[in-house]
Amino acid sequence: MTGVETEHKGWLGRSVKRKEDARFIVGRGNYIEDIKLPNMLHMAILRSPFAHAKINSIDTSAAAELPGVVAVVTGELLAEHKLAWMPTLSGDTQAVLATDKVRMQGQEVACVIAEDPYIAHDALELIDVDYEPLPVVISPQAALEPNAPLIRDDKEDQTDNKVYHWEAGDAEATEKAFAEADKVVRLVTHYPRCHPAPLECCGCVADVDPATGKVTIYMTSQAPHAHRTVFALVTGLPEQNIQIISPDIGGGFGNKVPIYPGYVVATAASLLLGRPVKWIEDRSGNLISTGFARDFYMDGELALKEDGTMTGLRVKMLSDQGYSYADAQPSKFKAGLFHIVTGSYDIPAAHVVTEGAYTNKAPGGVAYRCSFRVTEASFFIERLVQTAAYELGVDPAELRRKNFIPADKFPYTSATGFEYDSGNYEPALDQALERVGYQELREEQKRAREEGRLIGIGLASFTEVVGAGPSRQYDILGIKMFDSAELRVHPTGKAILKLGVKSQGQGHETTFAQIVAHELGIPPEDVTVQEGDTDNTPYGLGTYASRSTPVAGAATSVAARKIRDKAKKLAAHMLEAAEDDLEWETGKFFVKGAPDRAKTIQEIAFAAYTDHPQGMEAGLEAVNYYDPPNMTYPFGTYAVVVEVDRGTGQWDVKKVVAVDDCGTRINPMIVEGQIMGGLTEGYGTAAMQLITFDEEGNCIGSNFTDYLLPTAWETPSFELGETTTPSPHHPIGAKGVGESATVGSPAAYVNAVVDALAHAGVRNIEMPMTPDKVWTALQEAGLAE
Ligand code: CDP
């Protein structure tokens, strides 16, 4: 690997305005709904009102007779083509359309294809399904009871509701640490189910050309290449005949990684009918049936010495997977990367036991604004450390500092097997404490308490693991998690960069062009970035889990450096100098000691097509499939100040300081946007968002009146800080950042509310911390007014 360039110079570290926004702000984005093909049909999905029920019969005759209806598709019809079930990206199966029974409310039961979307929706009401309700399992604990109803009776070897059992770390060493501990602190908590709720719901236009057999699917996909391969494997269609095009995507947040039944039925329908079929999901369909996030029940203990040194960690985690294990985890890691739960701390022994259970809910557990299950891990360790600080009676900031992995111990191998590439945690903590005014706040808190006011200061010092991943360990359904870049410089010195990843709003068209500019000196406005079209971009695993910059960003650097190597040969030819006598300065080669004898990259590009030396291939282009040697480990410390109203349980955020370290920042403005988005989502989770279910399995949270997303009105303002610890193995030292704010901030908010109540012994409030919950805690603590 070429050396790391850590200095922020040239095109790195520059807040270049987002190139893509020019089309978005004038309403010229191109989303699925904008795609209109001649002769196009429209599809609507009938969903189950029951969470668990046997299907006795489905009568579609009345619907089929409605004028304008072209076809009604049921599971039975799909079964004839072996398409009633499909594989999930975690190696499980999921029903495309229900045949035997429904296993969650909102499950897809039948689809109507009609001349217009209104007729399709009207026809749904004419379908008569005879359901026979079955007992419902709505918690993973109930799912694992000995006599629990069997949810996946379709699977031959499945005799209970267990999905997986997976362990990491060293049980024996951890036992020993606990046996020798001076103090053991326990936390039992639940990170509740929430939903990524992207602004644009899912959808597709499937267009199978009856003349050529070419299948073009316009689709809200965060991973178009992997989806193409899965489509080929499931349908048996030749992969070269399948083109997936992900146009502009209105937010993904992990929700657009799984393959949903709507995509499959629309494609099958187009194949059978010989006409394009469009499916646009509605909001309730999105909220009740597509990839949810979180839903981890965690029970863990921290072993400590008298002086506060952490010596061991053990955690048991039970995950509510819904009725199918469909969250696209790397196949080796059943609970994602939850075993990063040792966080930022030098804990010598750790043991993590994870289990997943089927329930009658939507599948999910997607990497929602975090790398695979890292938010849950980070939340848990930060809540546990805060609890330990209260129980030991020590300052939570100092307990963290004392146990941080020291800066000189990097690269650091954690007790659960991660090799942290780089880190320097104290400066981030110090900066957060300083900016929030920690010492003064502690004084103010004391004074406020004397006056009967409850102020709390919460902290979270998280470490993420992103950039999946090294192919020796990371794959999805066996496809290794590399990513790719293909860079072509045109004769006039303009370039096109094609990537295997796919932005859903992260600003790739700008930041990846900046990487090219940094490497070659071609300004970002001269570099077109193309993503999302499988016929016209190199194969890659897509964008989720903050992997784009660590993997495709690195591929871009390497491809550009290959071009620079060829450009050097061309420059030597043009300048009639030896290659060894040439030096590079961003954008040009010049002869050492004679800076006037120079050729710019634009001049060199022209020569590559007009004056290349005999024996050299014409053109200036390169491809790289990048297999990262390691993950990257961004980190940071967040500090949050709240005041809790003793009369109502309402809590107001007084201040939020977020200090993030994602190594070299390519575009600080975009990074800040990512962090602010994450902080907003973290606040939403802590304060208001919750998807819950009644005992019949009805989803409470199926619309935005029940499922409360924070708007600009509720969202607190944030103060951002940064430190810069480059990743040593990344060509430009960048770590991913996409999600870190969602990882750290929920814990910081809960810790702040708990801290406000801590002098009365309140140690655990579950999210979302709605005023009624806080009010109950206040009452129990004798603090309510
Ligand atoms: O995979 P995803 O794009 O969601 O996440 P990411 O790689 O963490 O990047 C999110 C956005 O922030 C992209 O536009 C990146 O290029 C940008 N970024 C940056 O400018 N500097 C970094 N060190 C990391 C990300």
Residue 506 Cβ inside 6 Å of ligand 1? The answer reads yes
**Interstrand relation of 277-280 and 41-47 (parallel, antiparallel or unpaired):** parallel
Contact (Cβ atoms closer than 8 angstroms) between residue 135 and residue 55: no
- In the block, residue with structure tokens 């040439």: 582
Give residue 1's pLDDT: 32
Q: How far is the CA of 471 from the centre of ligand 1 (A)?
A: 21
Give residue 329's pLDDT: 87
Q: How far is the CA of 345 from the centre of ligand 1 (A)?
A: 25
The region of weakest confidence among 219-223, 277-281, 326-330, 399-403 is 326-330
Provide mean pLDDT across the span 47-57: 98
End-to-end, the C-alpha distance of the chain in Å comes to: 63
> Could you list the active site residues?
222, 369-370, 739
Name the residue with the closest Cα to ligand 1, atom 17.
671
**Which residues, including other chains, have CB under 8 Å from residue 3's CB and lie 6 or more apart?**
none
Measure the CA–CA gap between 53 and 56, rounded to whole angstroms. Answer: 9
Residue 525 confidence (pLDDT) above 60 = yes
Contact (Cβ atoms closer than 8 angstroms) between residue 295 and residue 274: no
Residue 196 confidence (pLDDT) above 50 = yes
Percentage of the chain lying above the pLDDT 70 cut? 99
Quote the distance between the C-alpha of residue 779 and its chain's center: 38
Give residue 276's pLDDT: 98
Q: How far is the CA of 679 from the centre of ligand 1 (A)?
A: 16
Quote the distance between the C-alpha of residue 726 and its chain's center: 22
Residue 662 Cβ inside 6 Å of ligand 1? The answer reads yes
**Confidence label for 2 from pLDDT (cuts 50, 70 and 90):** very low
Provide mean pLDDT across the span 273-283: 98
Provide mean pLDDT across the span 208-236: 95
Whether omega for the bond prior to residue 411 falls within 30 degrees of 0, making it cis, is: yes
Give the pLDDT confidence of 548-585 residue by residue, as tens digits: 999 999 999 999 999 999 999 999 999 999 999 999 99
**One-letter amino acid for residue 123 of the chain:** A
Measure the CA–CA gap between 220 and 378, rounded to whole angstroms. Answer: 29
Residue 7 confidence (pLDDT) above 50 = no
Q: C-alpha dihedral over 320, 322, 324, 326, to 10 degrees?
A: -70
* Cα→Cα distances 60→57, 71, 77, 223, 489, Å: 10, 10, 12, 34, 56
Which of 246, 371, 506, 672 has most ligand 1 atoms within 8 Å of its beta carbon, as the pocket-test mutant? 506
Name the residue with the closest Cα to ligand 1, atom 13.
506
Give the pLDDT confidence of 455-495 residue by residue, as tens digits: 999 999 999 999 998 999 999 999 999 999 999 999 999 99
* CA 755, 760, 763, 769 torsion-angle sign: negative
* CA 228, 231, 237, 242 torsion-angle sign: negative
Provide mean pLDDT across the span 324-343: 94
Residue 658 confidence (pLDDT) above 50 = yes
Half-sphere exposure of 186 (CA within 13 A, CB side): 4
Provide mean pLDDT across the span 690-710: 94
Residue 663 Cβ inside 6 Å of ligand 1? The answer reads yes
**One-letter amino acid for residue 212 of the chain:** T
**Confidence label for 4 from pLDDT (cuts 50, 70 and 90):** very low
Atom from ligand 1 closest to the CA of residue 508: 14
SS3 271: helix
Name the residue with the closest Cα to ligand 1, atom 12.
671
Which of 257, 510, 548, 735 has most ligand 1 atoms within 8 Å of its beta carbon, as the pocket-test mutant? 548
Provide mean pLDDT across the span 215-221: 98
Beta strands in 402-472 (DSSP E): 412-413, 419-420, 454-463
Q: 393 exposed, middle or buried (CB, 10 Å; 0-12, 13-18, 19+)?
A: exposed
Q: How far is the CA of 725 from the centre of ligand 1 (A)?
A: 15
Give the pLDDT confidence of 254-276 residue by residue, as tens digits: 999 999 999 999 999 999 999 99
Residue 734 Cβ inside 6 Å of ligand 1? The answer reads yes
Residue 549 Cβ inside 6 Å of ligand 1? The answer reads yes
Give the pLDDT confidence of 420-429 residue by residue, as tens digits: 999 999 999 9
Residue 320's beta-bridge partner residues? 357
Quote the distance between the C-alpha of residue 324 and its chain's center: 19
DSSP 23-78: HHTTT----GGG---TT-EEEEEEE-S-SSEEEEEEE-HHHHHSTTEEEEEEHHHH
Q: What share of the chain is helix, strand, coil (3-state, %, to 5)?
A: 30, 25, 45
Name the residue with the closest Cα to ligand 1, atom 10.
738
Give residue 9's pLDDT: 56
Residue 253 confidence (pLDDT) above 90 = yes
Give residue 345's pLDDT: 98
* Cα→Cα distances 442→394, 396, 427, 437, 439, Å: 13, 12, 20, 9, 5
Residue 456 Cβ inside 6 Å of ligand 1? The answer reads no
